[in-house]
Amino acid sequence: MKNAFFYKTPIGEIGIAEKDGFITNVFFGRTVKPENYIVKETPVLKQANAQLEEYFSCNRKIFDLPFLLEGTEFEKNVWNALFEIPFGETRTYKQIAEKLGKPNACRAVGRANGLNPISLFFPCHRVIGTNGKLTGYAGGLEAKQLLLEMEGAL
């Protein structure tokens, strides 16, 4: 069973879920919520929210929380590559595929990026198209643009 709590942010209300003290999910109003969760604010969820507040005020660039990635090995590798994209920078799907040693896996990287269960903390908003255009984001393209502008990446 997961615990989840909802917080207001500059990009709208988000939910953060945890299991056994590890952050497992971030979800927006239109995204799929984790199954079997109860609404309960726990210490790690409070800590996650506090770090997000610091991030949104541009006082935090790196998140220091316990995370539990739930996915395939390839998905986890993509998500870890997302975590390494510095604040204020972007990468393309192609660059991530190349970083993983799979230069022809751009679509698979895109799919894994779209399945990222811990967006914001594992910043899939920092991934853009090869042409420099913004591509899909679970929180919506307006939120993606706001995040990138806030970080100075646009």
124 is catalytic: yes
Catalytic-labelled residue, pool 26, 124, 127, 146:
124
104 — pLDDT class (breaks 50, 70, 90): very high
User: What integer best gives the mean pLDDT of the chain?
Assistant: 91
Task: Indicate the pTM of the whole model.
Answer: 0.88
Q: Are the C-beta atoms of 127 and 93 separated by less than 8 Å? A: yes
- For 19-59, how does the pLDDT look when each residue is reduced to its tens digit (9 = 90+)? 999 999 998 875 656 677 899 999 999 999 999 999 999 99
Same domain, 48 and 115: no
Same domain, 39 and 79: no
Three-state secondary structure call for residue 33: coil
Distance CA 66, CA 18 (A): 9
Distance CA 106, CA 86 (A): 20
Q: Decide if pLDDT at 79 tops 80.
A: yes
Same domain, 49 and 108: no
133 — pLDDT class (breaks 50, 70, 90): confident
Give the CATH number, domain containing residue 25. 3.30.160
Give the rounded percent of residues in the chain with a pLDDT score beyond 70: 96
- Looking at the 3D structure of the chain, how many domains does it have? 2
